[in-house]
C-alpha cells in the first residue's frame, strides 16, 4: 500500500537536492570550520555562504543569523537570552496561550527564575488581538513573543501590527516563525522583528539545525559556553552539513514559491469543504488567516486518536493535537485556548500538506475518512 504522508507540520521529508548538497560534508569535506588549514577553510566558506543566502532571504545581515540545533533551541535562546541580558531593565515577558511548547515550557522555567509572564488569550479563531498586547505592556516588560503561525490550527498572527506596538513601547519582539519560514514572505526589517526562530526540518531540510535571527541592536546572553562559535552566542563546532542543507532547503522553497503555496491552498480548501459535509464536523482555527497547508477539524463523538489509528491502517499519516503532546492524554492547549471543551479537543485531527501531496492523495483520503468517522461513531459511547 502506498503510504500518504499528511503530517508536514510535524516534519517534512528531506528533499533530494538538499541531501545532495549535504553529502560532501559527510565525506570528503569533513573539516572543522574553526581550523585554519584548507579543510577548515572549506567548511567555513560553506557555512558563511549558507549564512549569506539565508540572511538575504529574510532581509537580514549575515551577522544577525545564529545557527542553532533547531526551533526549540532558537526559542530557548531568544527567551532566556533576552531575559538574562535585560534583567536590569525589567522582568516581565508577554506571550500567548497557544505557543509551541518550546516557548511555553521555557516561560514556565523563567517564572521559576523570578520572571513574570503574561499568557495572552486568543479569539475563537486563534488570533492574538494586538490591543491585548498593548494593554499587557508595563514598565517592566522586556520582551513580547508571539508565534507567526500556529503549528496546530495554522492561524497566522498579525505580527506586523504587534511588532509595531512593541517598537512604540521600546519592548523587544520575538516571533517563532518555524511554521512560516520559507512559506510566507518574511522581511525582518519591514516587519520590525527583533528576534525570529526558524527550523530546517519543516521545509524539507535536515533535522537538528535551525536559526535565530537577532537584530544587531539586540543584546542576548549566551546559554551555551565554549569555544566562542556563532559570535560567542552559541558555542560548539558547527553542524556544517546541516547548515548547508538548511540553505539548500531555503533555495528549494524559493524555487517552489507562491505557485506551490497556491496549489496547496486549493487542496486545503477542497479538503475543508468536503470534510465539513460530514455531519457534526467543525473547522478549528481561522478560515482566511490560515497556513495554506493546514487543516484542523473535529468530529463530534469521535476520538482523534482512534481516527488517527484507523487512518494509519489505511495508509494515511495524520496527527491529532500536536506531535509533541500526542503521547499524552492532555487535550491540546491550543484547542482549549480557542474555546473547545476537552472532549471536543480530544476529537481533533490535523492534516498538513506538502509539496509531494497530490490531488489523488486527497481524493483517496476523502474517500476513506467519512467511512471511518461513521464506523467510529457507531461504537462511540457519546
Ligand X SMILES: *Cc1c(COP(=O)(O)O)cnc(C)c1O
**Nearer CB in complex with ligand X: 75/194:** 75
Q: How far is the CB of 69 from ligand X (least distance, A)?
A: 7
Shortest CB 194 distance to ligand X, Å:
18
Using Cβ positions, the residue closest to ligand X within the complex turns out to be: 71
Q: Which of 43, 58, 78, 102 binds ligand X (CB under 6 A)?
A: 102
> With DSSP H G I counted as helix, E B as strand and the rest as coil, what are the percentages for the chain, rounded to 5?
40, 15, 40
Residue 145 within binding range of ligand X, rule CB under 6 A: no
Nearest to 242 by CA among 42, 28, 3, 47: 47
Q: How far apart are CA 46 and CA 51, in angstroms?
A: 9
Q: Which of residues 52-81 bind ligand X (CB under 6 A)?
A: 70-72, 75
Does position 107 bind ligand X by CB under 6 A?
A: no
- Cβ nearer to ligand X, comparing 75 with 361: 75
Distance CA 55, CA 50 (A): 8
Q: How many C-beta neighbours within 10 Å does residue 22 have?
A: 21
State in angstroms the smallest separation of the CB of 201 from ligand X: 6
Q: How far is the CB of 198 from ligand X (least distance, A)?
A: 9
Question: With left for phi above 0 and alpha for psi between -120 and 50, is residue 357 left, alpha or beta?
Answer: beta
What's the min distance (Å) between Cβ of 321 and ligand X?
13
Q: And the C-alpha cell for 351?
A: 492534516
Q: In what order do the strands lie in the sheet with 294-299?
A: 281-283, 294-299, 348-352
151 touches ligand X by CB under 6 A: yes
- Extract the C-alpha cell encoding 267: 487542496
Closest by alpha carbon to 307, among 356, 252, 348, 248? 348
Among 93, 94, 98, 147, binds ligand X (CB under 6 A): 147
Whether 182 and 249 have beta carbons less than 8 Å apart is answered as yes
Smaller CB distance to ligand X: residue 178 or 252?
178
Q: How open is the CA angle 16-22-26, to the nearest 5 degrees? A: 130
Q: Which is nearer to ligand X, 8 or 263 (CB)?
A: 8
Cβ nearer to ligand X, comparing 176 with 194: 176
Shortest separation between residue 87's beta carbon and ligand X, angstroms: 25
Binding residues for ligand X, rule CB under 6 A, total 15
- State the cell numbers at 30: 569533513
Q: Under DSSP, is residue 372 helix (H, G, I), strand (E, B) or coil? A: helix
How far is CA 340 from its chain centroid? 22
Distance CA 96, CA 11 (A): 23
Least Cβ distance, residue 183 to ligand X (angstroms): 12
- Binding flag, residue 239, ligand X (CB under 6 A): no
Q: Is 100 in the site for ligand X (CB under 6 A)?
A: yes
Which residues, 176 to 205, sit near ligand X by CB under 6 A? 176, 178-179, 199, 201-202
**324 given a catalytic annotation:** yes
Question: Apex CA 34: angle with CA 30 and CA 36, to 5°?
Answer: 90
Q: Is 245 in the site for ligand X (CB under 6 A)?
A: no
CB-wise, 310 or 333, nearer to ligand X? 333
Indicate the residue among 71 and 81 with the shorter CB distance to ligand X: 71
Sheet holding 116-120, edge to edge: 65-68, 210-214, 195-199, 172-176, 141-145, 92-96, 116-120
Of residues 126, 210, 285, 331, which one binds ligand X by CB under 6 A?
Answer: 210
Catalytic one of 324, 336, 368, 376: 324
Rule CB under 6 A: is residue 234 a binding residue for ligand X?
no
Catalytic residue annotation? 324
Binding site for ligand X (CB under 6 A): 70-72, 75, 100, 102, 147, 151, 176, 178-179, 199, 201-202, 210
Amino acid at each position: 500500500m502506498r503510504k500518504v504522508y499528511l503530517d508536514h507540520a510535524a516534519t517534512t521529508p528531506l528533499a533530494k537536492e538538499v541531501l545532495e548538497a549535504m553529502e560532501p560534508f559527510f565525506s570528503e569535506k569533513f573539516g572543522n570550520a574553526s581550523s585554519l588549514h584548507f579543510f577548515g577553510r572549506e567548511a567555513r566558506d560553506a557555512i558563511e555562504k549558507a549564512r549569506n543566502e539565508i540572511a538575504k532571504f529574510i532581509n537580514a545581515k549575515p551577522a544577525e543569523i545564529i545557527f542553532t540545533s533547531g526551533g526549540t533551541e532558537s526559542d530557548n535562546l531568544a527567551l532566556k537570552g533576552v531575559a538574562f541580558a535585560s534583567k536590569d531593565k525589567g522582568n516581565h515577558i508577554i506571550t500567548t496561550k497557544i505557543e509551541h511548547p518550546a516557548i511555553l515550557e521555557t516561560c514556565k522555567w523563567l517564572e521559576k527564575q523570578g520572571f513574570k509572564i503574561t499568557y495572552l488569550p486568543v479569539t475563537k479563531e486563534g488570533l492574538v488581538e494586538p490591543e491585548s498586547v498593548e494593554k499587557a505592556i508595563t514598565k517592566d516588560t522586556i520582551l513580547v513573543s508571539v508565534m507567526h503561525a500556529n503549528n496546530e490550527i495554522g492561524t497566522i498572527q498579525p505580527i506586523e501590527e504587534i511588532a509595531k506596538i512593541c517598537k512604540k513601547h521600546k519592548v523587544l519582539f520575538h516571533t517563532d516563525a518555524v511554521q512560516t519560514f520559507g512559506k510566507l514572505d518574511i522581511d525582518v526589517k519591514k516587519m520590525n522583528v527583533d528576534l525570529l526562530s526558524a527550523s530546517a526540518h519543516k521545509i524539507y531540510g535536515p533535522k537538528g539545525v535551525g536559526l535565530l535571527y537577532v537584530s544587531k541592536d539586540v543584546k542576548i546572553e549566551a546559554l551555551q559556553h565554549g569555544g566562542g562559535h556563532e559570535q560567542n552566542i552559541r558555542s560548539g563546532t558547527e553542524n556544517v552539513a546541516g547548515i548547508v542543507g538548511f540553505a539548500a532547503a531555503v533555495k528549494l522553497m524559493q524555487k517552489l514559491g507562491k505557485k506551490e503555496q497556491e496549489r496547496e491552498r486549493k487542496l486545503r480548501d477542497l479538503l475543508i469543504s468536503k470534510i465539513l459535509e460530514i455531519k457534526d464536523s467543525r473547522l478549528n482555527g481561522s478560515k482566511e488567516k490560515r497556513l495554506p497547508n493546514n487543516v484542523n477539524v473535529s468530529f463530534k463523538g469521535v476520538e482523534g486518536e482512534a481516527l488517527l489509528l484507523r487512518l494509519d491502517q489505511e495508509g494515511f499519516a495524520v496527527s491529532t493535537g500536536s506531535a509533541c503532546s500526542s503521547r499524552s492524554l492532555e487535550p491540546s492547549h491550543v484547542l482549549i485556548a480557542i474555546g473547545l471543551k476537552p472532549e471536543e479537543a480530544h476529537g481533533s485531527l490535523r492534516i498538513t500538506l506538502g509539496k509531494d501531496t497530490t490531488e489523488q492523495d486527497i481524493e483517496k483520503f476523502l474517500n476513506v475518512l467519512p467511512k471511518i468517522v461513521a464506523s467510529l461513531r457507531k461504537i462511540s459511547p457519546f
